[in-house]
Chains A and B, each alone.
Chain A
Amino acid sequence: MVDLIISVALALVALVICLQVTVLLLWIERKGSALIQDRVGADRANLFGGLLPFNLGIVNTLMADPLKLLTKEDIVPAAADRLLHWLAPWLAVFPLFLTFAVVPFGDVLVVGRREINLQAVELSGGILFVLAMVSLGVYGVIVGGWASNSRYAFLGGVRGSAQMISYEIAMGLALVSVALTYGTLDLQEIARAQGRLMWGVVPAWGIFYQPIAFVLLFIAGIAESKRAPFDLPEAESELVAGFQTEYSGSKMSMFMMSDFIEVAIVAAITTTFFFGGWQVPYLYRDGFHLPGGLSVAVPSLVVTVLQIVSFFVKVFVFCWIQILIRWSLPRLRYDQLMAFGWKKLLPVGLANVTVSALLVLLLDGWTRT
């Protein structure tokens, strides 16, 4: 019974993380893009009809944006396929919610004698699960584009399917080299493995073992989330809004939400695989052990809180980098997009897997000693 309650609670926590990060990203992106483009950004939202002398900023924008989107009229084109038009936003959002289930956001929470693993689902094939859910996310784009029965939406859907299939391969290859390095597919084990030290000083984070895989995964991740410079499925200067042209109100906000969840997922898996996940350097379950031999005991609960904070700080840093990239780079041309995916990322990924496999074989377990 207690186990069941813990499972449900962890699943809810994963869902809440998802939703909270999404809402925060909405605000960060609006303000961030304004910062980059030298604008003021969202500053019109104010409670009580603007009677307050000051702007509540984040709080107001957080409430105003979702409320505005959710209360707008839902328009379905006359020639659309009504069932699939309704289904597509769900197809886009649902697999992404599930992805967060395998991402560990802390080590263990000790309650009495019970140690709760801070990960919604302990899955031995965690990496494969991430890949599977990301690859299912493409259906929202395809079905939405097709069901709208509009040329713009249709072209966006076709572009989206080709792009996501192509970059999934690079992503898969990056994940293969990660799995080779750690010798496991479980995200929690990968995060734990990064708690060790190299030469007694440097934290053994994945970025030091697999720098190329990090670059591959990050680029492929941005392409999977369909954001500039890879935003061809939306391409507002050519296709109006691509696959979501014919969507409005709450359905469009679901597509928007899936976009932000994807940003958060890319940030979360990058953090987990390459930047130690929830690890704080030199912090172990009983406290800090600095390389000089200095030890500071820290209560278990504080350790857990520090780890969770560390995880979210890292995730938001990577979210911010993605927002920075989106508002800095121009869109690729379609042939450039395909050439980059197949002729650059794929060979580099294959070479990286080969070299990693050789090294693991030669050094016999490399990181596992």
Chain B
Amino acid sequence: MILFWVLAVIAVASALTVILHRNVVYCALALVVALLQVALMFAALDAHLIALLQVIVYAGAIVVLFLFVIMLLSLERDAPHPGRFGARAASIAVTVALAVELGVAALVSEPGAPAPPPADFGSARMVAERLFTVHLLPFELTSILLLVAMVGAVVMARRRA
């Protein structure tokens, strides 16, 4: 429980840094910290596979690409970046909706001791078994989605070149 609160406070603080800091590189690094905290939370919940994947995919690859793009565009340090009014209104609306949804979910759900997880919970073998049997269709659909996104990225890069 202490561990959770430490992780949670750091995660929220770094998430706030991501959106409030004026220096884009600091924002990206704060995002890494936030993602690592979430990975540690997964690990604390015995979801070791998800924790490691979180580090490899998000902290290790995606934010590195963010930083790469930030550096290539060489954005002005300390440049203010005002959003358009519509974008701001939309983001506020989405945030409020998410907060309400989470609040309702927390209120409705039954508090109480959850059932103890099975022995090999969170191991690669168990996740794979569930993924390739019960959740096969969503899994395959996701792979098609990723393929479409990849082809789309290549097409757009071609057009611009």
On A, residues with C-beta under 8 Å from B are 81, 84, 123-125, 128-129, 131-132, 135-136, 138-139, 142-143, 146, 154, 157-158, 161-162, 164-165, 168, 185
Interface hub of B26, B49, B61, B123 (most chain A Cβ within 10 A): B61
- B52 pairs with A125, CB closer than 8 A: yes
Point out the residues of chain B lying under 8 angstroms from A131, CB to CB: 52, 56, 60
Point out the residues of chain B lying under 8 angstroms from A142, CB to CB: 64, 67-68, 71
**25 A-B pairs with C-beta separation under 8 A:** A84-B25, A123-B48, A125-B48, A125-B52, A125-B123, A125-B124, A128-B49, A129-B52, A131-B52, A132-B60, A135-B56, A136-B59, A138-B60, A139-B32, A142-B68, A142-B71, A143-B25, A146-B25, A146-B67, A146-B71, A157-B71, A158-B68, A161-B67, A164-B64, A165-B65
Q: Classify chain B: how many residues form its interface, as a range.
A: 20 to 34
Within 8 A of A (CB), among B1-50: 25-26, 29, 32, 48-49
Point out the residues of chain B lying under 8 angstroms from A146, CB to CB: 25, 67, 71
Across the interface, name the chain A residue whose C-beta is closest to B26.
Answer: A84
- Cα distance A168–B67 in the bound complex, in angstroms: 17
- A165 pairs with B71, CB closer than 8 A: no
Task: Tell me the dominant secondary structure on chain A's binding face.
Answer: helix
Task: Tell me the dominant secondary structure on chain B's binding face.
Answer: helix
Contact among A138, A143, A154, A185 with B124 in the assembled complex (CB-CB below 8 Å): A185
- B55 pairs with A136, CB closer than 8 A: yes
Point out the residues of chain B lying under 8 angstroms from A161, CB to CB: 64, 67-68, 71
Considering the complex of A and B, which 3 residue pairs feature the smallest CB-CB distances, nearest first?
A: A135-B60, A132-B55, A128-B52
Q: With A124-B123, A143-B29, A158-B72 in contact, do A132 and B65 touch (Cβ < 8 Å)?
A: no
Point out the residues of chain A lying under 8 angstroms from B89, CB to CB: none
- B64 pairs with A165, CB closer than 8 A: yes
Across the interface, name the chain A residue whose C-beta is closest to B59.
Answer: A136
Is B100's CB within 8 Å of the partner chain A? no
Is B53's CB within 8 Å of the partner chain A? yes
Q: How far is the CB of B17 from chain A (nearest CB, A)?
A: 13
10 further A-B contacts with Cβ under 8 Å, apart from A84-B26, A154-B71, are A125-B48, A125-B49, A128-B56, A131-B52, A135-B64, A143-B29, A146-B25, A157-B71, A165-B65, A168-B61
Point out the residues of chain B lying under 8 angstroms from A128, CB to CB: 49, 52-53, 56, 124
Across the interface, name the chain A residue whose C-beta is closest to B67.
Answer: A142
- Cα distance A99–B53 in the bound complex, in angstroms: 16
Across the interface, name the chain B residue whose C-beta is closest to A131.
Answer: B56
Q: With A139-B32, A157-B71, A161-B64 in contact, do A124 and B124 touch (Cβ < 8 Å)?
A: yes
Point out the residues of chain A lying under 8 angstroms from B25, CB to CB: 81, 84, 143, 146
Q: How far is the CB of B69 from chain A (nearest CB, A)?
A: 10
Point out the residues of chain A lying under 8 angstroms from B48, CB to CB: 123-125
Interface hub of B29, B53, B59 (most chain A Cβ within 10 A): B29
Q: How far is the CB of A226 from chain B (nearest CB, A)?
A: 14
Across the interface, name the chain B residue whose C-beta is closest to A157.
Answer: B71
Point out the residues of chain A lying under 8 angstroms from B67, CB to CB: 142, 146, 161
